[in-house]
Structure 1
Amino acid sequence: MATTSCASISMQAPVSVSARQKPVSSFSFGKTNLSFNLHHRKPARLAISCAATQETVEKVSKIVKKQLSLADDKQVTAETKFTDLGADSLDTVEIVMGLEEEFGITMAEERAQKIATVEQAAELIEELVKEKGA
């Protein structure tokens, strides 16, 4: 059974700059020397965001697994890259064709070539479906 995941990304890392402390980095551009120190007051938080719905991500994952003849137990998530699954350019074209058929859409070649992950495919699909319905 395939599992998909989607989380949200935000980075929060308060920093302070102090001229009294020993510089961490120094840059020289022509006649100007810049130096600064970065100090984290709190640990940074990291989360990942997925704009596509979970349902769309799951459908895309299922189609990708079918097109690449992957085992049922192979995990394909929103972050999964087609190349990590062993897909070459021909496989990617077949994936796009399968997605177009499943969702009743047509992807412009320029946009389809930019798809590298399940999430990117799902987001483009939702955008095209929305445009089609408008």
Structure 2
Amino acid sequence: MANVSATSIRLGSPFTPMSYTKAGRTSPILSLGTTKAAFPSLRLSRFRVYCAAKPETVKKVMEIVKKQLALSDDVALTPESKLSVLGADSLDTVEIVMGLEEEFGISVEEDNSQNITTVQEAADLIEKLVQKKSEAAN
């Protein structure tokens, strides 16, 4: 006599689990429900808030970056431009920071200079340091 095995799969609605039945036993395959993992697009890997640096500060930072990296006029810089993508190494970044210090009459600490990766970050740091300097003078 041969053994007969019956297997069936039942697909549930979005609110009921999927299951399968084998030889009279029902086991869950997959449970569909609302979990945090159901909306992976809502997860943010990184969330940044920028202070809005003055447009003239951003423009001046872009001029200094272009000059320091010897970029041609056809290279389009934006506030989101990454210094590393533009070809800046750590020495270039130090020289850019020195140019910013000279231009704006500020002093950038080494810890802060290591955190500069984009034109916008440099401009935001400049705004913050210029504001601190003016508050200290008053």
- Which interval holds the TM-score relative to the shorter structure? 0.5 to 0.7
Q: 1:118 is matched with which residue?
A: 119
Structure with higher RCO (Cα < 8 A, 6+ apart): 1
Specify every segment of 5 or more residues in structure 2 that has no aligned partner in the other structure, as ranges.
Answer: 1-13, 17-30, 42-48
- Kept in 2, the 8 Å contact 1:24–1:35? The answer is no
Larger-gyration structure (1/2): 2
CA distance in 1, matches of 2:96, 2:36: 49
CA distance in 1, matches of 2:96, 2:88: 9
CA distance in 1, matches of 2:32, 2:63: 51
- Kept in 1, the 8 Å contact 2:15–2:33? The answer is no
CA distance in 2, matches of 1:97, 1:107: 8
Q: 1:58 is matched with which residue?
A: 59
Displacement, 1:23?
Answer: 2.5
- Kept in 2, the 8 Å contact 1:50–1:119? The answer is no
Aligned match of 1:20 in 15, 20, 26? 15
- Kept in 1, the 8 Å contact 2:64–2:100? The answer is yes
TM-score when normalising by structure 1: 0.66
- Kept in 2, the 8 Å contact 1:24–1:36? The answer is no
Q: 2:83 is matched with which residue?
A: 82
Specify every segment of 5 or more residues in structure 1 that has no aligned partner in the other structure, as ranges.
Answer: 1-18, 26-33, 41-47
Change in Cα spacing, 1:131 to 1:36, as seen in structure 2 (3 Å) is closer
Q: Percent identity?
A: 54
Displacement, 1:54?
Answer: 1.3
Stretches (4+) displaced over 6 A:
none
